[in-house]
């Protein structure tokens, strides 16, 4: 039987302000995970999109003097442009204003209403428009009268005969599910918080808003719109074909992984699974909550304007360098401080020096000693074969667990080993001595370049294509010990120029 299509998603982002480093981070992570699965030969599908309804979007459109339709069109176009700039290869893009999505939300809502999972009651309580979240009086009291999540001033809302989802009746089932599926809540630091919240008891969730016109109307009651999170979570179903293309849905669902920021983990690990249980649909295999990029010690955030965009960063670096930095700098799950200085340090320490030099030195030596070809005879070094085998094994298991940072560490052990190999074997001496061992050394080094190019490609797809062209190789999942005899090595421009060269280029360009 064919393996199920690997289905991975990002959050769908609010179309209220320009997307920044934080959004790019989640999207790059999902794209890298997807590319890794594809490299291993699996069919893949990555979904992203835009969360376009609700009071927050409506207000930001109003403030800019634009109709909400036009506002969200601009937001979606800008997001697509950014993803193309960041070399993201998504397969589906849901906008919650898309008709197929609206129909899916209506269908889900009607079903839950008909089976009594949604019921009517009055609502009164605090609501944060910035987070589009209902809170309890106690939560707000504990946060000194402000929003417990974003800290902004919070308003009380009141609605007669609002509609509620019976979230409270799913607590036990959720706990059983978490227990039976230890891979679902990742990483484990976040798992405990979710289990704790559910164990303390869930309250039913208000799923309608009054006086918020920019949204999907409640079926049969146009005076209300559907709560924006209910609307948004359904994107993972509608984007996979539910219910308009059930054949496709059958091939994709359940999702293999939802990647989300830790602040929206609760929505994905409690509310969404409960909705799926109510719909009698299988639950996703994993929800991975990652940490935050901070700027001056605060979370980078659209609503506070404390942001940096990928375009600003990529005035100095190619987008692939930013992709690499995102996943190399901190473990996936932890927080990290964002700064250009850190990218420069990483660039020099990981790319320009060890990797760039490994390419440059190997290419120069092949050109000098063998006229720009790999030797026509020789064998692969046994020690490096062992290192490649180890690197591949570690890299694969870390990547399958979305431990990008550890996967790169494992790969860099090989990069360092290959550089050490040059120092130890001293090919320039072997050349002088006309030693036949030069063939083995150079074949092994070229094999390392091919190995690194293939395995690194999910992180830096464009840069690795450039690396591949230097050695006239195909990008593929590497095999330890593979090498090519008599292969022309075309070389090319310096792959990772030193920072002072990049800077001097910038000065010339700006003159
Ligand atoms: O929450 N560091 O959309 P949103 C890391 N529409 N990641 C960050 C980040 C930061 N500083 N800031 C944002 C929403 N992100 C809802 C989601 S899903 C059904 C609905 C990333 O535009 C991270 O993935 O506020 C976070 O969860 C997401 O952007 C929030 O984007």
Residue closest via CA to ligand 1's atom 16 equals: 13
Cα 175 from Cα 186, distance rounded (Å): 15
- Give the mean model confidence (pLDDT) for residues 196-223: 95
Mean pLDDT of the chain: 95
118, 166 contact by CB (below 8 A): yes
| Closest approach atom of ligand 1 to CA 235 | 19
| Ligand 1 centroid to residue 13 C-alpha, Å | 6
42 has pLDDT over 60: yes
Ligand 1 pocket mutation, candidates 261, 266, 268, criterion most atoms within 8 A of CB: 261
- Give the mean model confidence (pLDDT) for residues 97-108: 98
Q: How far is CA 491 from the centre of its chain?
A: 32
Query: CA end-to-end span of the chain, whole Å?
Result: 61
Cα 115 from Cα 107, distance rounded (Å): 12
316 has pLDDT over 70: yes
| Ligand 1 centroid to residue 446 C-alpha, Å | 41
| Closest approach atom of ligand 1 to CA 16 | 22
| Ligand 1 centroid to residue 503 C-alpha, Å | 32
All domains of the chain in start order, with CATH: 6-313 (3.40.50.620), 340-504 (1.10.730.10)
| Ligand 1 centroid to residue 149 C-alpha, Å | 13
Q: What is the helix (H) or strand (E) element at residue 222, kind and residue range?
A: strand 221-226
Task: Provide the pLDDT for residue 510.
Answer: 40
Task: Provide the pLDDT for residue 4.
Answer: 94
Q: What letters, b where the CB count within 10 A reaches 16 and e where it falls short, cover 183-207?
A: ebbbbeebbeebbebbeeebebbbb
Dihedrals phi, psi of 300, to nearest 5 degrees: -65, 125
pLDDT tens for residues 460-484? Answer: 999 999 999 999 999 999 999 999 9
| Ligand 1 centroid to residue 48 C-alpha, Å | 12
Residue closest via CA to ligand 1's atom 9 equals: 22
Residue closest via CA to ligand 1's atom 24 equals: 261
159 closest CA partner among 234, 220, 227: 227
Task: Provide the pLDDT for residue 160.
Answer: 86
130 has pLDDT over 80: yes
- Give the mean model confidence (pLDDT) for residues 336-355: 96
Q: Who lines ligand 1 at CB under 6 A?
A: 11-14, 22-23, 25-26, 51, 232-233, 235, 260-261, 263-264, 292-293, 299-301
395, 407 contact by CB (below 8 A): yes
| Ligand 1 centroid to residue 32 C-alpha, Å | 18
Tokens describing residue 33: 């995970």
359 has pLDDT over 60: yes
pLDDT tens for residues 143-188? Answer: 888 998 888 888 888 888 899 999 999 999 999 999 999 999 999 9
Cα 418 from Cα 358, distance rounded (Å): 7
86, 322 contact by CB (below 8 A): yes
3-class secondary structure, 88:
coil
pLDDT tens for residues 364-379? Answer: 999 999 999 999 999 9
Tokens 């294509």 found at:
465
Decide which of 281 and 303 is more confident.
281
Q: How many CB atoms lie within 10 A of CB 346?
A: 16
Task: Provide the pLDDT for residue 509.
Answer: 45
Share of the chain above pLDDT 70, in %: 98
| Ligand 1 centroid to residue 263 C-alpha, Å | 8
Ligand 1 pocket mutation, candidates 9, 12, 13, 297, criterion most atoms within 8 A of CB: 13
445 closest CA partner among 394, 374, 353, 369: 374
50, 75 contact by CB (below 8 A): yes
Residues whose CB is less than 8 angstroms from the CB of residue 368 and which lie 6 or more positions away in sequence, other chains included = 431
| Ligand 1 centroid to residue 319 C-alpha, Å | 20
Tokens 């070809």 found at:
373
């Amino acid at each position: 039987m064919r393996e199920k299509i690997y289905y991975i998603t990002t959050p769908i982002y609010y179309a209220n302000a320009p997307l920044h480093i934080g959004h790019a981070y989640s999207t790059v992570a999902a794209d890298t995970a997807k590319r890794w699965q594809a490299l291993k030969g699996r069919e893949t599908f990555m979904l992203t999109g835009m969360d376009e309804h609700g009071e927050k979007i409506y207000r930001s459109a109003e403030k800019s003097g634009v109709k909400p339709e036009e506002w969200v069109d601009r937001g979606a176009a800008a997001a697509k442009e950014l993803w193309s700039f960041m070399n993201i290869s998504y397969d589906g893009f849901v906008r919650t204003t898309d008709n197929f999505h609206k129909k899916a939300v209506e269908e889900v809502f009607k079903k839950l209403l008909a089976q009594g999972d949604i019921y009517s009651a009055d609502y009164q309580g605090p609501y944060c428009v910035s987070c589009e979240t209902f809170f309890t009086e106690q939560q707000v009291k504990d946060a000194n009268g402000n929003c417990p999540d974003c800290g902004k001033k919070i308003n009380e809302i009141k609605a007669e005969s609002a509609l509620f989802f019976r979230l409270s009746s799913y607590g036990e089932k959720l706990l059983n599910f978490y227990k039976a599926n230890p891979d679902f809540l990742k990483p484990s630091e976040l798992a405990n918080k979710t289990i704790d919240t559910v164990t303390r008891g869930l309250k039913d969730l208000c799923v309608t808003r009054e006086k918020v016109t920019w949204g999907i109307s409640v079926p049969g009651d146009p005076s209300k719109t559907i709560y924006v999170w209910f609307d948004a979570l359904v994107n993972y179903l509608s984007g996979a074909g539910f219910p308009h293309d059930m054949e496709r849905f059958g091939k994709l669902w359940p999702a293999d992984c939802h990647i989300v920021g830790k602040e929206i983990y609760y929505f994905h690990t409690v509310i969404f699974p409960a909705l799926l249980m109510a719909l009698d649909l299988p639950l996703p295999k994993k929800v991975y909550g990652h940490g935050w990029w901070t700027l001056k010690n605060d979370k980078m955030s659209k609503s506070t304007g404390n942001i940096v965009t990928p375009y600003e960063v990529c005035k100095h670096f190619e987008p692939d360098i930013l992709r690499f930095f995102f996943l190399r700098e901190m473990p996936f799950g932890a927080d990290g401080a964002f700064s250009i200085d850190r990218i420069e340090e990483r660039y020099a320490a990981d790319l320009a020096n060890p990797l760039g030099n490994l390419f440059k030195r190997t290419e120069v030596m092949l050109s000098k000693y063998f006229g720009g070809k790999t030797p026509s005879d020789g064998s692969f070094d046994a020690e490096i074969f062992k290192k490649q085998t180890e690197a591949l094994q570690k890299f694969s298991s870390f990547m399958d667990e979305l431990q990008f940072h550890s996967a790169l560490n494992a790969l860099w052990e090989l990069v360092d080993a290959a550089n050490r190999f040059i120092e130890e074997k001293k090919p320039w001496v072997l050349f002088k001595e006309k030693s036949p061992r030069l063939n083995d050394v150079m074949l092994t080094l070229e094999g390392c370049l091919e190995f690194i190019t293939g395995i690194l490609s999910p992180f830096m797809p464009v840069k690795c294509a450039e690396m591949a062209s230097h050695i006239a190789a195909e990008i593929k999942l590497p095999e330890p010990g593979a090498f090519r005899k008599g292969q022309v090595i075309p070389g090319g421009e310096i792959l990772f120029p030193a920072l002072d060269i990049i800077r001097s280029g910038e000065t010339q360009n700006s003159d």
